[in-house]
Amino acid sequence: MKYIDPHIHMVSRTTDDYMRMALAGCVCITEPAFWNAFDRGSVHGFRDYFVQLTQYEPRRAGKYGIEYYSWICINPKEADDPAFAREVISIIPEFLESERVVGIGEIGLNKNTKNELVILEEQIALASEYDQLILVHTPHLEDKLKGTRLIMDAISANSGIDPDRVLIDHAEEHTVSEILDRGYWAGLTIYPNTKCTPQRAVDIIEMYGPDRIWINSAADWGDSDPLSVPKVRFEMRQRGYTDELIEKITHRNPVEFLSQSERFHYRYE
Amino acid sequence: MIKEKIHNTLTSKEVIDRYFPENRAKLIDLAAFFDRMDRTSDSHAAGSDYRLTAFFEALNILSDGEANRAGRILEIFSDKTAELPQSADGVKGATGAAKNGE
């Protein structure tokens, strides 16, 4: 059975991971631009990273039969210096021309600062100007609830953004209801300690239904698991879910959201 | 917006059979965490730590019989202040619980 991992940071992973994902049924991934565990010292560092996301990584994924797309932005952890962040934002439009870029992401907040918020607003405006999908990173742990609300308020303040074209990721039990109620898509991220477990992700689906939700691993350089999505599928199967429902949540839903981008050519079969 | 549990076809016995062992282990881990704290050289100081204060508040929810326990516990650990700092001043991470007025 095929699946999509719509949020994974493969620049931090090995080819062994690509092989294991392919063997588990992964056919397509999207990779958001993120913080690579250190602050880049210049805009040139971001340019090189964006080239990696748009030219090199698609080829690496292709060797394993995995269709690859990316998202471009300055992430919230490096957005706390507005002058520097604006330099990075100035080079983003040239990468939005890439045939593999499906939107602006993962933008959002980290420590809910005024500096982060103004850069978030500027990137929301950029997405509106270039008619791009938005992938949102919500803050970690104690900062998530407040940050998720601030982010949704910032997006709704921009009349050019349709919430149906925005996915708010890393949702948990205390944020998913508001996200869905306000018309956004919600992402459930599976992490060993700091986000959802496969069991909790399936609990959330049971409470809020299978619509407008996707599952992802957000696997990166830290504690994370590139096989998280198949583990959620296994959990659903253990609970007696039908193949149709498992397929919807881990394959058809991400296709439905991502197909709103004219750059996304993967077709559900 | 909590909907009906449409998709869970398991019985309560099946849920207990399937999930009891792993959650029993988590409960014992939690007890061992508190025992470990008791053996520290300054165990009396632990009670004033804002993370443990939130932790003990959260424990009450486990046995209150009300729904959405996970969501309510996550809210206890959440920052409830309205103010926004200008900058994070280089801080990237989170501790897992908010100081909320400390």
Minimum-distance CB partner of B77 among A139, A142, A181: A142
Can you spell out the DSSP letters for A10-77?
GGGS-HHHHHHHHHTTEEEEEEE----SS--SSHHHHHHHHHIIIIIHHHHHHTTT-EEEEEE---GG
Question: Which pair of structure tokens corresponds to residue A231?
Answer: 């583990």
- For the beta sheet containing A185-189, the strands, ordered from the edge strand earlier in sequence to the opposite edge, are A3-5, A26-32, A67-72, A101-108, A133-137, A166-169, A185-189, A213-216
B33 in A contact zone (CB under 8 Å): no
B20-71, pLDDT tens digit by residue?
Answer: 999 999 999 999 999 999 999 998 888 889 999 999 999 999 999 999 999 9
With residue A215 as reference, give the H or E element that holds it.
strand A213-216
B67 in A contact zone (CB under 8 Å): no
Structural domains of chain A sorted by starting position, each given as residue range(s) with its CATH number in brackets: 3-258 (3.20.20.140)
pTM for the full predicted model:
0.96
B19 in A contact zone (CB under 8 Å): yes
Length of chain B counted residue by residue:
102
A93-147, pLDDT tens digit by residue?
Answer: 999 999 999 999 999 999 999 999 999 999 999 999 999 999 999 999 999 999 9
Question: Which pair of structure tokens corresponds to residue A52?
Answer: 């990696």
By C-alpha distance, the chain B residue nearest A205 is B7
A30-71, pLDDT tens digit by residue?
Answer: 999 999 999 999 999 999 999 999 999 999 999 999 999 999
Euclidean distance between CA atoms A87 and A79, whole angstroms: 11
B86 in A contact zone (CB under 8 Å): yes
A106, A109, A136, A143, B76 from B84: Cα distances, Å: 21, 11, 19, 11, 19
Spatial CA neighbour of A32 closest among A182, A162, A216: A216
Determine, for residues A145 and B79 on separate chains, whether the beta-carbon distance falls below 8 Å. Answer: yes
With residue B59 as reference, give the H or E element that holds it.
helix B50-62
Minimum-distance CB partner of A115 among B1, B78, B87: B87
Determine, for residues B79 and A142 on separate chains, whether the beta-carbon distance falls below 8 Å. Answer: yes
A234-249, pLDDT tens digit by residue?
Answer: 999 999 999 999 999 9
By C-alpha distance, the chain A residue nearest B92 is A77
Q: Which residue has the tokens 């700092």?
A: B85
By C-alpha distance, the chain A residue nearest B89 is A80
In sign, the C-alpha dihedral spanning B44, B63, A139, A48 is positive
Minimum-distance CB partner of B94 among A142, A199, A238: A142
- Interface TM-score (ipTM) > 0.90: yes
Shortest CA gap B33–chain A (Å): 16
Query: CA A52, A87, A113, A101: dihedral to nearest 10 degrees?
Result: -40
